[in-house]
Amino acid sequence: MFPEFLTDIYTDYTIRNITLGAMTLGFVSGSLGTFAVLRRQSLLGDTISHAVLPGIILAFMLTGSRDPLILIIGAAIVGWIATLSIMAIVNTTRIKPDASLALVLSVFFGFGMMLMTFVQRQPEAASAGLSRFLFGQAAAIIWDDVRTMLIVGGSAMVILLIFWKEFKLVVFDRAFALSMGMPVRRFDVLLTTLLVIAIVIGLQTVGVVLMSAMVVAPAAAARQWTDRLGFVTLLAGGFGALSGVSGALISVYMTRMPTGPTIVLCLTVVVVFSLLMAPNRGLLWSWVRQHRQSREIRSRVVLGDLYWLSAQHEGAEHGHSIGTLEAMSAGRVAVDHGLEDLERAGLAQRTGDDNWMLTESGRHQAQKDLQSGERESADV
Amino acid sequence: MFDLTSGQIEIQLVAVVVAVACALLGVFLVLRQMAMMSDAITHSILPGIVVAFFLVQDLSSPFLIIAAAATGVLTVSLVELLNRTRLVREDAAIGIVFPALFSIGVILIARFAGGIHLDLDVVLLGEIAFVPFNRTTILGIDLGPTALVMMTIILVINVLFVTLFYKELKLATFDAGLAAALGFSPVIIHYSLMSLVSVTAVGAFDAVGAILVVALIVGPPVTAYLLTDRLWLMLVLSAGIGVAVAILGYWLARYLDASIAGSMATMTGVIFIAGYLFAPYRGLIAIALRRRRQRWEFAGTMLAIHLLNHEGLPSAQQENRIDHLQDHLNWDSRFAEHVVRWAERHGSLTRQNSHLFLTEKGRQRAREAIVR
Amino acid sequence: MTAPASAQTPAIAVRDLTVAYDDRPVLWDVDLDVPHSVLMAIVGPNGAGKTTMIKAMLNLVRPAAGQVEILGQSYQKSRHQVGYVPQRGSVDWDFPTNVLDVVLMGRYGALGWIRRPGEADRKLALQALEKVSMADFAERQISQLSGGQQQRVFLARALVQDAQVYLMDEPFQGVDATTERAIITILKDLRSAGKTVVCVHHDLQTVPDYFDWVALLNVRKIASGPVAEVFNDTNLRLAYGGRVAFLSRDSAAPATAQPTPDYED
């Protein structure tokens, strides 16, 4: 399968369009999604992606055209109406954001479903294309779709670049941006428009039901790998493109693999891998770190105890039994393992009768620990 | 068009039962600010249903319900687990978990269940119109449509849950800390609620599909929330609105010859908008009227305080002139004139030439406002 | 840029300011003059409108009545001369960015549209970090900072704004003792350099040591002026009501207020 599809990309017109389209939409929605995730609008993304359904269908009903650009415009307009409705409900009533999101999502979607039954009753072939807006269909991507994605997505990326530092500040510290006289509300509108674009761009390929994952998941994965906003955005775009292309191609080459769900599963793999493996933040790394830290603390405690004992007995040469040390740490740490670690680091040594004492460097280390400990407690 | 067959009555009955079962649980989801969890759960129970269906090959088996409840609890736990790593925030965690589970469900259906009973349109839309054709019989007696029997049982469970644990639910919703301190574990209540949402969702799947369940769970309670402050009344009103949504939705669908589930969701929106505009105290119109009344009152108090603050000071000559309100309070002259007239009518100030003087009543008013 | 404000016009002039959220008044008809080159504390009980006062000065909330002038001009005109330190808790410290980048945000106002911060801005930012003893942390991810370090970064960001007037919302909230000392040193330096600094402040005990000017608020203004003149038992009682007990040795002398230990939580 692999070599086959590689040659297809160069030779097969359809496959090239699918690849290019999935890559574009994955990159655009992934990178734009970064801002949505940072603004805690993941669920708004979910709501918008469901709520645009009536927009697509109305656009079709009114124009009779299934030109992707027209349908996307219809979707974007209704996406904005949905967003404004949510804001109106939250601002003028005591209904909380979660409930207004769920209400708008389900009512708009239901309305869309109602409209869809009208359209489906018409026998024309033109209406057949609409049902793929539910779960997406990569196989149907044609050059028109790709062109639309490139134009819409490209403009969104240009806007992102132009206002990069303003977006960053508005999202990070709204009050500070306002105090600088930035038109923060206008940037809100712009950012929400970009979120709507990130969603509508993938509607025919991924489908309304799952499009929100394309916006949320890449950013969540990318955040684990880097601490810089620019890299997060780029990487999210990369993850989105990767999952988009692999999901689309799998769904094309395998029978009965709906495109949207396949892409989302590819994304999920990326997310899980990132959560586990990303350096620093990844769960695997923090487990390793925790383990190392508890070992470190164990050694410190034993070292300190040994030092205290030797100070009490005024003779550093004197060895001390494991039993004494265990009594001192009152079972908090595994003394024997701690001693082995210290021995390996050359900080402690065995005396003849299986007792333990500090080495010269161990004594130095213990003194240093003690001093820095005092400094820290003075700081607090 | 208005002659009812038994099938049409049965469809409406199912719709009503589903709507009430959803609305009762929805009240607590809305109050606990977890409405979006209903969206997540109704999506993510799909793989559980599909796997169970493969095992028992029967869409109306109670086994499916158990599987759905288990998957619902799994969803909630996964979200919580992700959240606890602190690597992603809760909203993003929800937005990652449920599409993943839903995708698995959809792919399973597409690959292995194509052609048999379960198909994708039903998952999203349900097909309540087919409800009368699938009937439950015990010992040869026709008990009615299977969906009706199943949903009635679920409704009874929900009603029992809400009434028996009314005070626990109330406490855990408004003060989780106190509930825990009194020994009602909020965690248990949380998970039971989520399991019941899953069970209700799977029962309603057949009839209204995954996403429209959300409309029925959230819509009626949210509308009721605009109408009352009492929990029990909110439950009653939600159930009532649920009934209205079901029946009006059905007739809208018949009138338009459109999807019944879609029409019910649309009706939910219509009823919400009606409540949003016309609710007696919290409606948009009531608020606007109240604001208008308060605006003068507020401005009058503001003026009284302004005059009181400057009374007896050398600056008073300046500050209490009506034509200076524009500079000092930033009021335009027409508004200022209105406020002064309002205050005069209410006896809190008198006007001599263009100077304003507080009456004793006005002074009182200002002092009361300051002390609060 | 702008004509130097004459000695007569105060650095900040608040006139008849009333602010209400949903018709619930937070500030009632407040008049307040802040002279040039003072270090002023705004104190008052919870819900007294202290933060709202700062926000009104910054034009972040729309007043129901009254106005604020900074350096004799509306905020729109004077904002290039105003530096702002928001409450530390108001931002997401897990935001993917590093210390230097946050400080550079203070330069955005001077940069204008589209232009990115350049080498000169970086240098200014590093100098500011030097001043708050955070130069070693320039490349550090902000989530790895302690509360005190976060506050220093915010202060450095305000410093690169190179302002005449600084407005700070609880700069000492939740910081360690070392940071508190470092911050107050910097604030006093700013005042010596002729800047005006206004802080929302919670710790009554440190007011006489840290500040030379004070405003007591409780929805309305109770008093404002030099600490030595207005920071006394009478005014504190007016501002805090019965909620605070004062041990004054001599009611005539300027009080060193001793709040009961549990006064602020």
Q: What is the pLDDT of residue A314?
A: 63
Share of chain C above pLDDT 70, in %: 88
Option in B294, B305, B372 nearest C29 (CB): B305
Share of chain C above pLDDT 90, in %: 48
Query: Scanning every residue of chain C, which has its alpha carbon at the shortest distance from the alpha carbon of B335?
Result: C65
In C10-164, the DSSP E strands lie at: 12-21, 24-34, 39-43, 65-70, 82-85
Counting Cα atoms < 13 Å in the Cβ hemisphere of B295 gives 9
Give me B309's structure tokens.
């603050």
B67's CB contacts (< 8 A; 6+ apart) are B48, B49, B51, B52
Option in C15, C25, C64 nearest B328 (CB): C15
Option in A165, A173, A232 nearest C91 (CB): A173
The per-residue pLDDT for range A343-375, each reduced to its tens digit, is 888 888 877 777 787 887 888 888 888 777 666
Q: Minimal Cα–Cα distance from B338 to chain C, Å?
A: 15
Taking a contact as any Cβ pair under 8 Å apart, which residues of chain B between 310 and 329 contact chain C? 319, 328-329
Q: Which residues does chain A have within 8 Å of residue C143's beta carbon, measured at their own beta carbons?
A: 227
Mutate to test the interface with B, among A35, A86, A98, A286 (most CBs of B within 10 A): A98
ipTM of this complex prediction, to 2 decimal places: 0.87
User: Cβ separation of B259 and A111 shorter than 8 Å?
Assistant: no
Look-up of token digits 């024309």: A124
Amino acid at B232: W
Q: Which residues does chain B have within 8 Å of residue A256's beta carbon, measured at their own beta carbons?
A: 110-111, 114
Q: Do domains A2-278 and A285-379 have the same CATH topology?
A: no
Option in A37, A111, A283 nearest B92 (CB): A37
Tell me the pairing of strands C12-21 and B355-358.
Answer: unpaired
User: Cβ separation of B328 and C16 shorter than 8 Å?
Assistant: yes
Q: What is the pLDDT of residue A49?
A: 92
For each successive 10 residues of chain B (372 residues), what is the average pLDDT?
Answer: 69 92 95 90 87 80 83 90 88 91 88 61 66 70 78 93 90 80 81 90 79 91 94 95 95 89 93 94 89 83 82 74 76 83 84 82 81 62
Q: Minimal Cα–Cα distance from C223 to chain A, Å?
A: 27
pLDDT interval class at C193 (50, 70, 90): very high
pTM, two decimal places = 0.84
Tell me the pairing of strands C65-70 and C39-43.
Answer: unpaired
Q: Which residues does chain C have within 8 Å of residue B299's beta carbon, measured at their own beta carbons?
A: 64-65
Q: What is the pLDDT of residue C5?
A: 46
User: Cβ separation of C29 and B369 shorter than 8 Å?
Assistant: no
B309 reaches C (C-beta below 8 A): yes
Chains that touch C (3 or more CB pairs under 8 A): A, B
Report, in this order, helix, strand and coil percent for chain C, each rounded to 5: 40, 25, 40
User: Cβ separation of B298 and C64 shorter than 8 Å?
Assistant: yes
Measured at the CA of B140, the angle between CA B138 and CA B143, to 5 degrees, comes to: 50
CB burial of A36-54 (b: ≥16 within 10 Å; e: otherwise) equals bbbbebbbbbbbbbbbbbb
Instruction: Report the pLDDT averaged over residues C21-40.
Output: 87
The per-residue pLDDT for range A4-15, each reduced to its tens digit, is 666 766 677 888
Q: What is the pLDDT of residue C244?
A: 56
Query: Scanning every residue of chain C, which has its alpha carbon at the shortest distance from the alpha carbon of A92?
Result: C22
Q: What is the pLDDT of residue A317?
A: 63
Domain A2-278 in CATH 3.40.30.10? The answer is: no
The per-residue pLDDT for range C70-85, each reduced to its tens digit, is 998 888 888 889 999 9
The per-residue pLDDT for range C166-177, each reduced to its tens digit, is 999 999 988 899
Q: Which residues does chain B have within 8 Å of residue C18's beta carbon, measured at their own beta carbons?
A: 302, 305, 329
* B339-348, C140-149, C220-229, range with the lowest pLDDT: B339-348
| Ramachandran area for residue C241 (φ above 0: left; ψ -120 to 50: alpha; else beta) | left
CB burial of C24-63 (b: ≥16 within 10 Å; e: otherwise) equals ebbbbbbbbebebbbbbbbbbbeebbbbbbbbbbbbbbeb
Q: What is the pLDDT of residue A380?
A: 42
For each successive 10 residues of chain A (380 residues), what is the average pLDDT?
Answer: 64 84 94 93 92 92 85 92 94 92 94 85 59 78 88 94 93 92 91 91 86 93 93 96 93 85 94 91 87 84 80 68 75 74 82 77 81 60
Distance from the first to the final alpha carbon of chain B: 63
Option in B302, B369, B370 nearest C65 (CB): B302
User: Cβ separation of A227 and C58 shorter than 8 Å?
Assistant: no
Tell me the pairing of strands A348-350 and A356-358.
Answer: antiparallel
Which domains are seen in chain B, by residue range?
4-282 (1.10.3470.10), 287-371 (1.10.10.10)
Stated as kind and residue range, the H or E segment containing B304 is helix B284-310
The per-residue pLDDT for range A156-197, each reduced to its tens digit, is 999 999 999 999 999 999 999 999 888 999 999 999 999 999
Q: What is the pLDDT of residue B372?
A: 56
Structurally, at CATH architecture level, domain A285-379 sits in Orthogonal Bundle (1.10)
Q: Which residues does chain C have within 8 Å of residue B329's beta carbon, measured at their own beta carbons?
A: 16, 18, 65-66
A342 contacts A302 by C-beta, under 8 angstroms: yes
Query: With 50 as the cut, is the pLDDT of residue C261 above it?
Result: no
Q: Which residues does chain C have within 8 Å of residue B88's beta carbon, measured at their own beta carbons?
A: none
B294 reaches C (C-beta below 8 A): yes
Q: Which residues does chain A have within 8 Å of residue C90's beta carbon, measured at their own beta carbons?
A: 173, 175
C239 contacts C216 by C-beta, under 8 angstroms: yes
- The domain spans of chain A are 2-278, 285-379
C93 reaches B (C-beta below 8 A): no
Q: Which residues does chain C have within 8 Å of residue B305's beta carbon, measured at their own beta carbons?
A: 18, 28-29, 220
Cβ contacts from A onto B, under 8 A:
203
User: Cβ separation of A181 and C82 shorter than 8 Å?
Assistant: no
User: Cβ separation of C90 and A379 shorter than 8 Å?
Assistant: no
Helix H, strand E, coil C: the string for chain A is CHHHHHHHHHHCHHHHHHHHHHHHHHHHHHHHHHHHHHCCCHHHHHHHHHHCHHHHHHHHHHHCCCCHHHHHHHHHHHHHHHHHHHHHHHHHCCCCHHHHHHHHHHHHHHHHHHHHHHHHHCCCHHHHHHHHHHHCCHHHCCHHHHHHHHHHHHHHHHHHHHCHHHHHHHHHCHHHHHHCCCCHHHHHHHHHHHHHHHHHCCHHHHCCCCHHHHHHHHHHHHHHHCCCHHHHHHHHHHHHHHHHHHHHHHHHHCCCCCHHHHHHHHHHHHHHHHHHHCCCCCHHHHHHHHHHHHHHHHHHHHHHHHHHHHHHHCCCCCCECHHHHHHHHCCCCCHHHHHHHHHHCCCEEECCCCCEEECHHHHHHHHHHHHHHHHHHHHC
A362 contacts A368 by C-beta, under 8 angstroms: no
Look-up of token digits 């509930």: B179
